Chains A and B, each alone.
Chain A
Amino acid sequence: MTKTRVPAVEGLFTEVDGIAHLIGAKVPDRESYFFPAHQAGMAGGDPAAVGADLEECLLSNTGRVWSYTTSSYAPPPPFVANTDPYEPITIAAVTLEREQMVVLGQCPQGITPDDLEIGMEMELCIDVLHEDDENEYTVWKWRPVAAGEGS
């Protein structure tokens, strides 16, 4: 039986025509972006956004590596490991060009720091964060653009 795929947390990402996007917010007529979108409710720190009627928007699904690292020990709850025993996860910080912001995300299992370098082009994908008997809980992840070809 196929498991149902459900977002680990609602409202943060989506897929449009098979392309993964983070759901952010922006100030109308101004290139000022926020992620997660609910941060925008608190003006996200931008003095120019205070009181503005922010609009939801899909963020760029590609960017370049700003930095990367690992969580070599299992993070504490609410994190749920998808492997037992725990396998280190690789985490990338990626700069989105249009938005001029850096967004964190895990990389899919199997990608290690040796596969990454600063400036490398990355793309967003939706992948499994963890699963139980009924569901696969999904999240956004960053993978090198080359790794996505043909998959």
Chain B
Amino acid sequence: MEDLAIIGVGMHPWGKWGRNFAEYGTFAAREALAEAGVDWKDVGYISGAITVRNGYPGYVAGSTFARALGFNGAQVSSSYSACASGVTALQIARGQILSGATDVALVVGADTTPKGFLKPNEGDRPDDLDWLRFKLVGSTNPVYFGLNARRRIDMYGATSEDFARVKVKNSRHAVHNERARFTKEYDVDDVMNSPVVSDPLRLLDICATSDGGAALVVCSLDYARSLGHEDPVRIGGLSTVTPTYPDMMIDLPYIATDSAGATPEPLRGFKQSIGDKVYEEAGLGPEDVDVAEVYDLSSSLELDWYEQLGFCAEGEAEQMLRGGHTEIGGRLPVNPSGGLGAFGEAVPAQAIAQVCELVWQLRGEAGQRQVDGARVGISANQGLFGHGSSVLVRR
């Protein structure tokens, strides 16, 4: 697989702005285009990540952004894969460019999110698992995070303080990120004194929901050179894998896992397989990674990613955290942006925002949160109903 160039990134600051999602998306898109030195009329493909919380314009996000930028005749698509939507949109853009169908593509995701728990669509829908889990079990998203955190305590000796330390670390990073929503530095006591949401996790262990928008301009390496981008950050691997049956980790929105009664559990679980795919495409491994942006929907899920992406052995994530290895200045800084804990999730924008941060890091443009000498970065995330999402970038 050929590498792809990222020649422009853009991001609307995260917050609870309450404006139309298309505003955030077009803000980010204009910033990315300006940086790339690409005229919108030359963009042959626009790949939008869908939001399901903003009515019809959200379902046709690609054309909503295209219209807001001024219809230019570009080909368009809109993709939904929950939290993975942004990388799915990027995957489609990559296919368009590598097939030669277009020279340059714009990838955009944005959301306006209501306050409180994410909840299922309205109506009586007993054949929809996302409805059943709320109706019969009362299992909100944090319930799954809590089940996961309890396993870490039982299996690896994690403590509530360890979970709090993830939040503390990421909050220290976010102090230097003007695009983050929460830029206050927290300490362990702040987290431990926040109310329990899903035992053992507390309010400050769990990410909020936010408004935000992010965009990327991507093209072939040749096209990048023709525009004067001699050494752009490149996409070396991209993963949108599905699970391999049976997936034995209970995860939202399911109320039961698959059954391993007839088929043994695969050696590498779903979340391990997400990163495996990008390493394989890029011909690199965890030992090559300098910086990572991972989905910390909860603090304990960030710890899982250290292991699932191969940064340490299973059960050793807490040690890696306690040793300061994942802090800026450490061996492998994780979530230098501040992560979801500092941004709050804007679902279709978030996977793109992870890539924006990695690009800034690899260009050396991350200011006070710069990871020195970062040459290889990886993002990881997962969308409900079995959508992997990971991007490996390199320079």
- Residues of A whose CB lies within 8 Å of any CB of B are 8-10, 12, 27, 30-36, 38-39, 44-48, 66-73, 75-79, 89, 91, 93, 98-106, 113, 117-118, 129, 139-140
Shortest CB distance A11–B (Å): 8
- The 8 Å CB contact of B138, one of A27, A46, A89, A102, is A89
Chain B residues whose C-beta falls within 8 Å of the C-beta of A99 in the assembled complex? 259, 261
The answer to whether A72 touches B263 (Cβ under 8 A) is: no
A-B contacts counted at CB < 8 A amount to: 154
Shortest CB distance B245–A (Å): 5
The answer to whether B135 touches A104 (Cβ under 8 A) is: no
The answer to whether A75 touches B140 (Cβ under 8 A) is: yes
Chain B residues whose C-beta falls within 8 Å of the C-beta of A12 in the assembled complex? 136
B139 part of interface (Cβ distance < 8 Å): yes
Selected interface stretch from B119-127, B177-185, B357-365, B374-382: B119-127
Chain B residues whose C-beta falls within 8 Å of the C-beta of A32 in the assembled complex? 259, 261-263
Selected interface stretch from B145-153, B315-323, B345-353: B145-153
Q: A36-B255, A139-B136 are in contact. Are A118 and B261 (CB under 8 A)?
A: no
- The chain B residue sitting closest to A139, CB to CB, is B136
Cα distance A71–B141 in the bound complex, in angstroms: 10
The answer to whether A76 touches B140 (Cβ under 8 A) is: yes
Shortest CB distance A104–B (Å): 5
The answer to whether B259 touches A69 (Cβ under 8 A) is: no
Q: A8-B135, A69-B147 are in contact. Are A101 and B260 (CB under 8 A)?
A: yes
Cα distance A12–B201 in the bound complex, in angstroms: 30
B134 part of interface (Cβ distance < 8 Å): yes
Chain B residues whose C-beta falls within 8 Å of the C-beta of A36 in the assembled complex? 129, 132, 255-256
The answer to whether A8 touches B136 (Cβ under 8 A) is: yes
Given contacts A9-B135, A69-B198, 20 further A-B contacts (CB under 8 A): A12-B136, A33-B259, A34-B256, A36-B132, A36-B256, A45-B258, A46-B245, A67-B250, A68-B147, A68-B199, A70-B196, A71-B138, A73-B140, A75-B140, A78-B120, A78-B135, A91-B138, A101-B257, A102-B257, A103-B255
Secondary structure dominating the interface of B:
loop
Cα distance A44–B246 in the bound complex, in angstroms: 10
Shortest CB distance A29–B (Å): 10
Q: A46-B246, A104-B133 are in contact. Are A67 and B259 (CB under 8 A)?
A: no
B186 part of interface (Cβ distance < 8 Å): no
Chain B residues whose C-beta falls within 8 Å of the C-beta of A35 in the assembled complex? 255-256
- The chain A residue sitting closest to B146, CB to CB, is A69
B92 part of interface (Cβ distance < 8 Å): no
Shortest CB distance B257–A (Å): 4
Cα distance A39–B147 in the bound complex, in angstroms: 23
- The chain A residue sitting closest to B148, CB to CB, is A67
B276 part of interface (Cβ distance < 8 Å): no
B188 part of interface (Cβ distance < 8 Å): no
Closest 4 pairs between A and B when the two form their complex, measured CB to CB:
A69-B146, A31-B261, A100-B260, A76-B119
Chain B residues whose C-beta falls within 8 Å of the C-beta of A105 in the assembled complex? 137
The answer to whether B199 touches A75 (Cβ under 8 A) is: no
Shortest CB distance A113–B (Å): 5
- The chain A residue sitting closest to B135, CB to CB, is A78
B131 part of interface (Cβ distance < 8 Å): yes
- The chain A residue sitting closest to B154, CB to CB, is A118
Shortest CB distance B247–A (Å): 7
The answer to whether A93 touches B259 (Cβ under 8 A) is: no
Shortest CB distance A126–B (Å): 12
Cα distance A113–B200 in the bound complex, in angstroms: 9
Shortest CB distance B55–A (Å): 19
Chain B residues whose C-beta falls within 8 Å of the C-beta of A104 in the assembled complex? 133, 137, 139, 250, 254-256
Cα distance A69–B153 in the bound complex, in angstroms: 12
Q: A67-B148, A72-B198, A118-B151 are in contact. Are A79 and B256 (CB under 8 A)?
A: no
Chain A residues whose C-beta falls within 8 Å of the C-beta of B134 in the assembled complex? 75-79
* 0/1 string, B246-278, CB within 8 A of A gives 1: 111010001111111111000000000000000
Cα distance A78–B135 in the bound complex, in angstroms: 5
B197 part of interface (Cβ distance < 8 Å): yes
Shortest CB distance B106–A (Å): 34
Chain A residues whose C-beta falls within 8 Å of the C-beta of B148 in the assembled complex? 67
Cα distance A138–B247 in the bound complex, in angstroms: 29
B116 part of interface (Cβ distance < 8 Å): yes
The answer to whether B129 touches A91 (Cβ under 8 A) is: no
- The chain B residue sitting closest to A70, CB to CB, is B199
Shortest CB distance A74–B (Å): 8
The answer to whether B135 touches A31 (Cβ under 8 A) is: no
Chain A residues whose C-beta falls within 8 Å of the C-beta of B256 in the assembled complex? 34-36, 101-104
Shortest CB distance A146–B (Å): 20
Cα distance A71–B246 in the bound complex, in angstroms: 27
Cα distance A77–B239 in the bound complex, in angstroms: 34
The answer to whether A102 touches B248 (Cβ under 8 A) is: yes
The answer to whether B131 touches A75 (Cβ under 8 A) is: no
